[in-house]
Amino acid sequence: MFKRVILAVALAISASFATWDYFPIRPAGSGTGEIGLYYDWDHRWSQAGLSAGARFSLLSVFEIAVMGFGYQVWGEDDCDDCVNGGDGLRDVTIGGRFQINPMVSAFIDAHLPIGREVYDGYNTTPPGNNEFAIYFGAQFSMPIKEAPGLKFGTEAGLDWGFEHTNPYDGRKGYERGLEMHLSGELDYTVPKSQVTPYLGMQFKLQLTEDTWEDGNKERGDNDDFDDGQFNLWLGVQVDISSAIYVKAHLKFRTGDMDGEATGLYMAGGFNF
């Protein structure tokens, strides 16, 4: 049961650590803002909140972004004896992407632990995790000429968390094992419409074990090595105009890293 709690916590903090998308950056001087509501659940446990982000192309080949900023309303089990909690300011991710050529880009994101990391009690999931981390890698994308309106984007990256005090059990010098992420998304804009269904998936693999300080010794957990995770999402975006859009998707998670849960995300955005 305790492991389920930790997996739920991992779900809470990992959901916000991702690049903006898998496709080429927008023209210089343009950007996008988005604000959305998320709701994740698994049996009696659920969490919900508000998430916002923005990106801006400083140059035709360089984009900066702020992602995952917001407020979590709750993150807890629903039962008579359960503790209420999991509310507070969320951690935030800042990032940059460099367009190497029309199909290839490189990126680096930083997870900043500005959110509330206080553990309110059993089976609660705080919106912060007290960990600074970086995520870096490369993307490849292209339209499919044989199918107008169809395009795909892929991503490969490494997620590296730095030492911190684990807010859930107080372990000092806690460092998550290095993770490899492989992701992809397929988007299809229906001809003569403003509707774009999309399907995405992500595979994660932990390459090294978690470590922490125990007095003057460093300890590790071999059970974390080679843990895996598979996430799948299916959604649709509707462009109301060239500047305004709405979107929604369902996300399904299974594995030992983010835990097992289903999530719903609904958002509105604007291009400028």
Q: ∠ at Cα 141 (92, 233), nearest 5°?
A: 55
Q: Which of 258, 250, 246 is nearest to 233 (CA)?
A: 250
- Please give the mean pLDDT across all residues of the chain: 90
DSSP reduced 3-state for 205: strand
**In this structure, which CATH number among 2.40.160.40, 3.30.420.40, 2.70.70.10, 3.40.50.2300 belongs to the domain 2-271?**
2.40.160.40
Asked if 49 contacts 127 with a C-beta cutoff of 8 angstroms, the reply is: yes
Q: What is the pLDDT of residues 107-141, one digit of tens each?
A: 999 999 999 988 888 778 889 988 999 999 999 99
Sorted by where each begins, the domain ranges of the chain are 2-271
Q: What is the pLDDT of residues 219-271, one digit of tens each?
A: 776 566 678 999 999 999 999 999 999 999 999 999 988 889 999 999 999 99
Tokens of 183: 């992701």
End-to-end CA distance of the chain: 47
The residue with greater pLDDT, 93 or 120, is: 93
Cα–Cα distance for residue pair 25/145, rounded to 1 Å: 20
Provide φ and ψ at 256, rounded to 5°.
-95, -5
Cα–Cα distance for residue pair 179/203, rounded to 1 Å: 10
Q: What is the pTM of this model?
A: 0.88
Predicted local confidence at residue 124, as pLDDT: 86
Reported as a pLDDT band with limits 50, 70 and 90, residue 3 is very low
- Burial code of 178-215, b = ≥16 C-beta within 10 A, e = fewer? ebebebbbbbbbeeeeeebebebebebbbeebbbbeee
- Within 13 Å, how many C-alpha atoms sit on residue 4's CB side? 13
The whole-angstrom distance between residue 35's C-alpha and the CA centroid of its chain comes to 15
214: β partners: 217
Q: What is the pLDDT of residues 40-87, one digit of tens each?
A: 999 999 999 999 999 999 999 999 999 999 999 999 998 877 888 899
DSSP reduced 3-state for 3: helix
Cα–Cα distance for residue pair 85/255, rounded to 1 Å: 25
Q: Is the pLDDT of residue 12 over 80?
A: no
Amino acid at the residue 168: Y
